[in-house]
């Protein structure tokens, strides 16, 4: 692959470009300075943002220079959602989230060398704008009919909810960002998700009208599952990159549970594996799907990338230990908490009989059934076989003073938890 655009297309990461031939020529002439924006609408990025972070990394590895913009200004307003108005967060909250997201972004991009990442906050140049500046020098270059025709704006206008002037004006601020980044750093490309296409085009048009320059836009598809449903949600909501919001164990399991129909596409989108490596894994899916080698590669690569190699080792050890192939007591508290977070649970206290806890956790339908499981040698506590149906929970059984892993047979798990 001689052009980064070829690789992005092979990986399914190109939805639209504003000028395919022109962008290809710019990449060949390179280096190109490009930017992607991240609004602090939460305290963490999620795996949807990871698509753009990895695209930025791919472009940087190809020799181009990234600008990562965290929207301290645009985050105070929020990009219009298809359904309803965003709740406006306080300036202090947005400022805190800006710093959190800056810290999250930094490890994905090299900061050294001629194409080291530039980290910026658009509040730097937006907060100095007066209302007159915004209306007279910027707003006059935007046509109402064009702004109304944008898909999300049109849908909101047609809804009972409507749209506020604040959210309606969002694309003006994003357009101003693109022109400002061109003026300050020579930025000529905005890379974004395809839901930002209208904003990207608006920024290019604004720069053309005011500075007579030609800029480029490149968007990637929003990632979906093979059945057309949205990718990126787990039982508990968004799959966040912050390990305090979604544990590394839960993160790993999310990817490990990827359907066969989706896993090759996700390997292309979310990993840096080569065409040959992905082709080999595709063959594994076809020939030996039960081994789930592609899912293991996807989960391993992403967990190591987002949380580090040590976290990957910990979650693999936890997965093995849960099913009796390791010592649960060797796992740290965070890993244990993540590993048991999605298991059926029962509240416990020292002195409770194991048979009652097995019933309460759904591992047995009755005390009699639980006692038979013990008699048959199929009931385990922290991977230790229960030898008597009259045994009770002792404080020494608790992992990190809180958890006990219950297992019936080889694969049926639950957790007894002592309230903190």
The predicted-structure confidence for 381-392, as pLDDT tens digits, reads as follows 999 999 999 999
> Residue 196 in contact with residue 153, Cβ under 8 Å?
no
**How many degrees, rounded to 5, is the angle at CA 405 between CA 334 and CA 399?**
50
Residues 40-96 pLDDT 10s = 999 999 999 999 999 999 999 999 999 999 999 999 988 877 777 778 899 999 999
Decide if pLDDT at 230 tops 60: yes
**Token pair for 356:** 């009652």
Structure confidence at residue 82 (pLDDT): 76
How many other CB atoms are found less than 10 A from the CB of residue 272? 13
Mean pLDDT of 315-343: 90
Please provide the average confidence, as pLDDT, over all residues in the chain: 92
Q: Which residue has the tokens 């991977």?
A: 383
pLDDT at 1: 41
Is domain 223-327 classified as CATH 1.10.240.10?
A: yes
pLDDT at 242 over 80: yes
Tell me the CATH architecture of domain 4-220: 3-Layer(aba) Sandwich (3.40)
Q: How far is CA 374 from CA 222, 364, 369, 379, 390, in A?
A: 50, 11, 9, 5, 10
Tens digits of residue pLDDT in 190-228: 999 999 999 999 999 999 999 999 999 999 999 988 888
Q: Which CATH class is domain 343-420?
A: alpha beta
**pLDDT, position 228:** 80
152-202 tens-digit pLDDT: 888 888 887 888 888 888 899 999 999 999 999 999 999 999 999 999 999
Both tokens of 392, joined, read: 């009770």
Structure tokens at 263: 């896993």
Six-digit token string for 209: 């009208």
- The three state secondary structure string of 60-109 is HHCCCEEEEEECCCHHHCCCCCCCCCCCCCCHHHHHHHHHHHHHHHHHHC
163-168 contacts at long range (C-beta below 8 A, 24 or more positions apart): 163/80, 163/85, 164/85, 166/77, 166/88, 167/77, 167/78, 167/79, 167/80, 167/85, 167/86, 168/80
Q: Report the 10 Å Cβ neighbour count for 214.
A: 13
- Report yes or no: 103 and 153 within 8 Å, Cβ to Cβ: no
Closest CA to 78 of 69, 89, 64: 89
pLDDT of residue 174: 94
> pLDDT-derived band of residue 347, with 50, 70 and 90 as boundaries?
very high
Say if residue 253's pLDDT is above 60: yes
Q: What percent of the chain has pLDDT over 90?
A: 78
- What is the average per-residue pLDDT within 28-33? 94
* Mean pLDDT, range 320-342, rounded to an integer: 89
Q: How far apart are CA 156 and CA 195, in angstroms?
A: 15
Q: Where are the domains of the chain?
A: 4-220, 223-327, 343-420
Is the pLDDT confidence value at 2 over 70? Answer: no
- pLDDT at 164 (0 to 100): 84
Q: H or E element: which one contains 414?
A: strand 412-418
Query: Residue 61: its pLDDT value, please?
Result: 96
């Amino acid at each position: 692959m001689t052009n980064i655009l070829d690789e992005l297309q092979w990986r399914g990461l190109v939805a639209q470009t504003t000028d395919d031939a022109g962008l290809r020529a710019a990449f060949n002439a390179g280096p190109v300075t490009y930017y992607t924006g991240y609004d602090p609408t939460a305290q963490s990025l999620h795996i949807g943002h990871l698509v753009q972070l990895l695209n930025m990394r791919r472009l940087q590895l190809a020799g181009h220079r990234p600008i990562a913009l965290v929207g301290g200004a645009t985050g105070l307003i929020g990009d219009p959602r298809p359904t309803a108005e965003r709740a406006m967060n306080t300036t202090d909250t947005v400022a805190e989230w800006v710093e959190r997201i800056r810290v999250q972004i930094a490890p994905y991009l090299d900061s050294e060398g001629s194409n080291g990442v530039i980290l910026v906050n658009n509040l730097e140049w937006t907060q100095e704008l007066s209302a007159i500046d915004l209306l007279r020098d910027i707003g006059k270059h935007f046509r109402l009919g064009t702004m109304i025709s944008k898909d999300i704006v049109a849908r909101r206008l047609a809804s009972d909810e409507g749209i506020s002037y604040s959210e309606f004006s969002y694309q003006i601020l994003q357009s101003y960002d693109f022109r400002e980044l061109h003026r300050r750093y020579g930025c000529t490309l905005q890379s974004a998700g395809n839901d930002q296409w209208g904003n990207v085009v608006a920024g290019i048009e604004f720069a053309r009208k005011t500075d007579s320059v030609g800029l480029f836009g490149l968007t990637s598809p929003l990632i979906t599952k093979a059945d057309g449903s949205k990718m990126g949600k787990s039982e508990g909501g968004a799959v966040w990159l912050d390990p305090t919001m979604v544990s590394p164990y839960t993160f790993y399991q999310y990817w490990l549970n990827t359907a066969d129909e989706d896993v090759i596409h996700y390997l292309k989108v979310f990993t840096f594996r080569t065409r040959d490596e992905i082709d080999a894994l595709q063959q594994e899916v076809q020939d030996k799907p039960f081994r789930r080698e592609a899912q293991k590669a996807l989960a391993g690569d992403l967990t190591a990338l987002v949380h580090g190699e040590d976290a990957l080792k910990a979650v693999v050890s936890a997965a093995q230990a849960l099913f009796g192939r390791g010592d649960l007591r060797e796992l740290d508290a965070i890993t244990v908490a993540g590993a048991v977070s999605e298991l059926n649970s029962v509240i416990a206290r020292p002195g409770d009989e194991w048979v009652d806890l097995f019933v309460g956790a759904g591992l047995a339908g009755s005390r009699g059934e639980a006692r038979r499981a013990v008699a048959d040698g199929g009931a385990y506590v922290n991977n230790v076989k229960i030898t008597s149906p009259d045994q009770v929970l002792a404080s020494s059984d608790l992992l990190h003073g809180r958890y006990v892993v219950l297992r019936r047979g080889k694969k049926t798990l639950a957790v007894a938890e002592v309230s903190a």
